[in-house]
Amino acid sequence: MQRRPIAVAAAVVVAAGAAVAFTLPSLAGTNEPDASSVTAGGVSPDLLAAMKRDMGLDGDQARTRLARSEWAGGVSATLAAQTGEDFGGAWLADDGTTLKVAVTDSRATAAVKAAGAVPVLVKRSEAELDAAKTKLDAAVGDADDVTGWYVDVATNRVVVVAKPGAKSEALDLAEDAGVPASAVTVKISKAQPKPLFDVRGADPYFIDIGGGQARCSIGFSVKGGFVTAGHCGAEGTRTTGFNNEAQGTVEASVFPGEADMGFVAVNGDWTPRAVVNDFRGNELPVAGNTEAPVGAAVCRSGSTTGTFCGTILAKNQTVRYPEGAVTGLTRTDVCAEGGDSGGPWLSGDQAQGVTSGGSGDCTAGGETFFQPLNEILATNNLTLVTSGGGGGGAAEPPAAEPPAAGTNACDALPVQREGSIARTGAAQVQPDGGAYRARAGTHTACLAAPDGADFDLVLQRQNSRGQFRTVARADGDGDKTLTFEGRSGTYRYVVVSASGTGAYQLGFNVS
């Protein structure tokens, strides 16, 4: 193989100038985050105080859980790629620190243990559970008393949420969709989720809707504007800021359907900055976007209720709102109310998503769903504005060190596969002839080809019909590097011999 150094590119977001988010410009009466207002590890003491109030955690416990969540997010993404089609999902246990990883093959448990996680042997892979959920998405029909469904990796089943007395309707829906009863659990709930916007005047930003004015909350700052919920304005809708001044225009909006996501491009009067307003006179820093796993602690802020904290309960949930079903949401036990829609969710200083909807309120409690942030960034090719505190590929990476003697840059990537192609025109699928589940984020890959051969590297994503479609490729002479910002889904690499034969090395990861 060729052993010359390879510059493995990483798609990172770098903010020029001042970074930001919640208020554009700053809200009067808020405190700019500085070195004295951030604890070791980048966690604001104001966020720790909210976690103590809502979750009963002292400062050390909260910091430990947040640090463990960030670690677990990276480890679970690597293990998903490393174990391929055997991966059954990952979650933090009730203690908030023990990472459990489900696998369908006992041979994969060694990799899980080596990563510092606890393996759990299960019958169904995460890809199989997602396929079952996709069948439910397509067969929703007239099941009016079924309010949603999601993959529960901890129980290795798909959970269908139904109103009281509608268990048989939920089971019929699963049967009609072709999902076996052994893979389904029915959860009974009186809650009826709804989008969380109010038609009333209040801080922080407004849209014209139905002849009136609706209020939503800004999510996170991105280069050129901010992200928010899709139901907070259709494309072309003009927005007004908290100060009643013209703010921007909704450039992208999806709701209902595959997401509840929106992007507002702001005018030159508004400066995106990397903070979240906690409505207690403080601005919480946004340092990155490492996705936290199920079981992680998470906090949200909104213009109606301020900041509240809780736990991530499930991912990839389909929620049936009165306006239609939305797929791919994350379920939490955090409360929210009207006007909080679009607001930001943080795990420590790592951005997680924007508020979509829920049930209940912050007096009686309830459940709230958020749209994952990384899906919004990947779909709309947006750059998160951060404080430069690191995490999630959102800050400038350190300069790469030159490869050690006898190695190449592919060795630095955590998932390694080797193979050999015996004739020109042949191809091999990796990992191990299968595929792997990936969250939304940056796919980074490196292919070291044999001397004198021309091998191409192709990245493919599985669509809703089960077909793999090419989303990125690296070709030309020599060794290859590839980066791709992708949505969550099932992916695979294909190594193709354009000319020549021999052994190759493939390194890859998702950040």
Q: In whole angstroms, give the CA distance from residue 207 to residue 485.
A: 30
User: Is 182 in a helix, a strand, or coil?
Assistant: helix
Please give the full DSSP string across 262-309, using - where no structure is assigned: EEEEE-TT----SEEE-SSSBEEE--B-PPPPBT-EEEEEETTTEEEE
Q: In whole angstroms, give the CA distance from residue 497 to residue 426.
A: 6
Active site residue 253: no
Is the distance from CB of 199 to CB of 211 less than 8 angstroms? no
Active site residue 443: no
Q: CB atoms < 10 A from the CB of 275, how many?
A: 28
Q: Does residue 322 have a cis peptide bond before it, meaning omega lies within 30 degrees of 0? A: no
**Active-site choice (69, 76, 341, 387):** 341
**Active-site choice (46, 130, 152, 260):** 260
Q: In whole angstroms, give the CA distance from residue 476 to residue 69.
A: 40
Please give the full DSSP string across 369-400, using - where no structure is assigned: EEEEHHHHHHHHT--B---S---TT-SPPPPP
Q: In whole angstroms, give the CA distance from residue 341 to residue 253.
A: 14
**Active-site choice (46, 221, 231, 356):** 231
Q: In whole angstroms, give the CA distance from residue 154 to residue 158.
A: 10
Which residues face 495 on adjacent strands?
428, 457
**Catalytic (active-site) positions:** 231, 260, 341
